[in-house]
Amino acid sequence: MEMRRYARAQDRMAATTAAERGWQQHVERRKEQQHGPSGRSEGQRGSAGPAVQAPPHGDEFLQHVDSRVVKHDLAFATGDSYRETLAKVWRPKLGARLFAAVRYSELRKIADAHAKSKKTYNNVVSVWRRAVDYGYRATPEKHNPATGLKCLRITKKDRPVIAPFSSQEAAALLAASHRDWGEAQGNYDACRFCSGLRPSEQLARLVSDRDIVHTKISISKARVMARDKDRTKTSTDRPGGLCPRALQVLQRCLALRARLPLAGKIQRDDLFFRETGEPIRDLQYPWVRWRSTRRKM
């Protein structure tokens, strides 16, 4: 099972979208028009060392990222974010130019124009620096202007203030969730309040993970972007103790699961599921419902 999952992840990460394939073909045509079959302009022929090209049309960095994902050295969600940032932010602006022709001021303008917050800015800059650093490893004697792009310092005041719900507010919200969406969604939301699980860890829970007798649950996997991972966000397995309220919620989930197979609605071992019996594959589904319930209140 794990080998098949790894193979599917490798196939997905290795495949490029139609837009990316079109971009690669466009870049190859531009390179031939500008530099000829040799890939170097007249002024560069005979110069010392190869010309450094911009990572957006090399894709070697992304291939390296894909290999790290397959080896479980990098989370696939992180690899996807690298690919998306390069495709949406940097490739459209820099085109197929040699990176040596790109100035630091231009890089800074691109990052400033795209990012509306410190966190977004840091994400955009860090991905580009990683890609360019990888490209410049072949020519360490050349100056890398991307080193001038610095991430912004995020202070305590930049983080949102945590405002926990009171017991009365939590009870009212959970009652509204049951009323608006039914028992399956209500059980999912109730578990969020009392289990101590991350959302990605909660989605990946199976019936076989829980130990009702010893009030424990095994936390060793997660579900991110509709894909199952064999590790948590911190790559650390841990046993999770269940408080009496969490134990009651899990018992209600098991009771609901016992009824659904009789109606032919559930075929999997997931502990949390939709009212149709289908597993919850991503966080968007319960979040949209939760937001709707909160706005009504």
Residue 272 has pLDDT above 90, yes or no: no
Six token digits for residue 171: 């009870």
Average pLDDT over residues 234-261: 82
Query: Which residues have CB under 8 Å from 43's CB, separation 6+?
Result: none
Residue 14: per-residue pLDDT:
47
Least confident of 234-243, 247-256, 284-293: 234-243
Poorest-pLDDT segment among 5-14, 107-116, 125-134? 5-14
Segment 266-286 shows an average pLDDT of 84
Q: How confident is the model at residue 54 (pLDDT cuts 50, 70, 90)?
A: very low
Residue ranges of domains in the chain = 2-39+50-158, 167-296
Q: Which of 36-50, 64-78, 164-178 has the lowest mean pLDDT?
A: 36-50
Q: Given this structure, which CATH class describes domain 167-296?
A: mainly alpha
Is the predicted pLDDT of residue 125 greater than 90, yes or no? Answer: yes
The DSSP string of 228-251 is EESS-TTS--EEEE--HHHHHHHH
Q: Is the pLDDT of residue 166 over 50?
A: yes
Q: What is the pLDDT of residue 148?
A: 87
Cα separation, 182 vs 126, in Å, equals 43
Q: Which residue has the higher pLDDT, 286 or 269?
A: 286
The answer to whether the beta carbons of residues 80 and 123 sit under 8 Å apart is no
52 has pLDDT over 60: no
The predicted structure's pLDDT at residue 32? 56
Percentage with pLDDT > 90 across the chain? 20
What pLDDT sits at residue 2? 43
Q: What is the pLDDT of residues 205-215, one digit of tens each?
A: 888 776 655 67
**Does residue 238 or residue 118 have the better pLDDT?**
118
Which stretches within 15-166 are classed as H helix?
Answer: 18-35, 60-70, 76-85, 91-94, 104-114, 118-136
**How many C-beta atoms surround the C-beta of residue 74 within 10 A?**
17
Helix axes 118-136, 104-114, angle to 10 degrees: 140
Averaged pLDDT, 103-132:
90
* Helix, strand, or coil (residue 160): coil
Q: Has this prediction a pTM greater than 0.85?
A: no
* CATH classification for the domain delimited by 2-39+50-158, as one of 3.40.50.300, 2.40.30.200, 1.10.150.130, 2.30.29.30: 1.10.150.130
Structure confidence by residue, pLDDT tens digits, 182-240 = 999 999 999 888 888 888 888 888 887 766 556 777 788 888 888 888 888 888 888 77
